[in-house]
Amino acid sequence: MDFDLSDDAKTLREAARKFLEAEAGPKSARAVMDAEAPHDVALWAKVVAQGWPSARVPEAHGGLGLGTDEACVLAEEVGRSLAPVPLLATMDAIEALLIAGSEAQKARWLPRLAAGEAIGVVAWGEGDSKSPAQMPATRLESGRLSGVKTPVQDGLSATLAVVTVASADGPAMAIVDLASEGVTRSPVEALDLVRKSARIGFDSAPAEPLGDAADWVRLTERLAVLHAWEALGTAGAAMEMALAYAKDRQAFGLRIGRYQAVKHRLADMYIKGELARAHAMHGCWAWGTDASELAQAAAAARVASLEALSFTAEETLQLHGGIGFTWEHDCQFFYRRARAVSAALGSRAHWADRLVRALEQRNRAAA
């Protein structure tokens, strides 16, 4: 038994952390927040040069053909560094193609995504309060896509979108080149000011179907795992900031980390983070081995990581006191990002429900 990341993945994590600590971090996030550009173009070029977008793309399509361990550590490090680049969005789209793409679709898009020539995104929300499992209004008929997706995180950067469309069996996917006629885009104001969101309208835009409804369910499970790692990274960075502050800041003659109200809160962050990490690893394993536990492990990873991230973001700000609430402080990045991560793939309650559905099936199978 070896319930640990592969050595290759650990090496990649170290490298990615070092790279992003040097190149990204809150400063880069703040620069993008204050700028017009939807992402850090220079950083993105360097990330592409690192080959990260190509991580999961098979060698036959110009990628590195790496496993889920490597994908997950990249997600963690992007989450940790808040790097304002559309890497995870692109990895999402790649995963959609890997699950559901025809050979032609893969051949057309994977090499371009791997090389950073295309930026991908997966878009399902329509500005209403539906979960990823509810039927979208967007339709694909005779190769023409009509509907609106909003808010699409990284949607201003993307050149290629995988979108959900209504089908008889539930939400299914279509793939659309965002340079096509009939595609309109505008910025949308959302809670996360760093990872910017778009409203993307489709008015009979040319598009192709991508797999079937079951593929969408499978994709959401994989993305639940991938983004659980992102959440772990973001929560970890917030917690480290809180920890450093608690060791330094003084009140009433003591470093505040001496007060149990503070230290036990930090212990709780650690506990929630460790539980989330354990489930995220389980999810990574289930995804990588296509195990029957994936539905369960992915949902658990999602629920546990959202719980860890939102608690950590809220209490990191609280532990910083007044300064944490200012525009100039980095606390807001974590506080706002927690909402973005939740919105990106459906809330805790949605995934708790899915988790229990998977557990019921397992309980029935065991009985």
Partner 1 sequence: MDFNDTPEQAAYRAQVRAWLEANAAEYLAPPEKPWGLDEFVARSKAWQRKKYEAGYAGITWPKAVGGQGLTPMHQIIFGQEESRTYVPTGLYSIGLGMCIPTVFTHGTPELIARFVPKALSGEEVWCQLFSEPVAGSDLASIRTRAECDGEAWVVNGQKVWTSFAHRSDFGILVTRTDFSAPKHRGLTMFIVDMKAPGVEVRPIRQMSGASDFNEVFFTDVRVPDSWRLGAVGDGWKVALTTLMHERLAVGGKPRHAPGWQMLIEVARGIETDSASALERADVRQRIASTYIADEGVKLTQMRALSALSRGAMPGPEQSIAKVVVAKTMQDMAAAALDLAESAGFAAEKGSDLEKLQQSYLWSAGLRIAGGTDEILRNIIAERVLGLPGDLRPPKDTPFNEIEPL
| Residues within the interface to its own copies (CB under 8 A) | 259-261, 264
Interface with partner 1 in residues 171-230 (CB under 8 A): 188-192, 197
Q: Of these partners, its own copies, partner 1, none, which one is at the site of residue 4 (CB under 5 to 8 Å by kind)? A: partner 1
Interface with partner 1 in residues 270-289 (CB under 8 A): 270-271, 274-279, 281-282, 284-285, 288
Dist. CA 78–CA 85, nearest whole Å: 9
Q: Of these partners, its own copies, partner 1, none, which one is at the site of residue 349 (CB under 5 to 8 Å by kind)? A: partner 1
Q: Of these partners, its own copies, partner 1, none, which one is at the site of residue 126 (CB under 5 to 8 Å by kind)? A: partner 1
Q: Are 280 and 202 in contact (CB under 8 A)?
A: no
Residue 143 vs 321, nearer CB to partner 1: 321
Interface with partner 1 in residues 11-70 (CB under 8 A): 69
Dist. CA 252–CA 257, nearest whole Å: 12
Residues facing residue 173 across a β-bridge: 164, 210
Q: Are 63 and 56 in contact (CB under 8 A)?
A: yes
Interface with partner 1 in residues 348-367 (CB under 8 A): 348-353, 355-356, 359-360, 363
Residue span 322-351 as binding mask against partner 1, x where in contact by CB under 8 A, dash where not:
xxxxxxxx-xx--x---xx-xx--xxxxxx
Interaction of residue 134 with partner 1, rule CB under 8 A: yes
Residue 142 vs 260, nearer CB to its own copies: 260
Residue 103 CB, nearest approach to partner 1 (Å) = 29
Q: Under 8 Å CB-to-CB from 339, ≥6 apart: which residues?
A: 191, 192
The single-letter DSSP state of residue 40 is: -
Q: Of these partners, partner 1, its own copies, none, which one is at the site of residue 13 (CB under 5 to 8 Å by kind)? A: none
Residue 142 vs 252, nearer CB to partner 1: 252
Dist. CA 81–CA 86, nearest whole Å: 13
CA angle 17, 22, 27 (to 5 degrees): 110
Q: Of these partners, its own copies, partner 1, none, which one is at the site of residue 185 (CB under 5 to 8 Å by kind)? A: none
Residue 199 vs 265, nearer CB to its own copies: 265
In the three-class reduction of DSSP (H, G, I as helix; E, B as strand; rest coil), residue 60 is classed as helix
Residue 46 CB, nearest approach to partner 1 (Å) = 29
Query: Read out DSSP for 257-316?
Result: GGSHHHHHHHHHHHHHHHHHHHHHHHHHHHHHHT-TTHHHHHHHHHHHHHHHHHHHHHHH
Query: b/e map of 270-291 (b: 16 or more CB within 10 Å)?
Result: eebbeebbebbbbbbbbbbeee
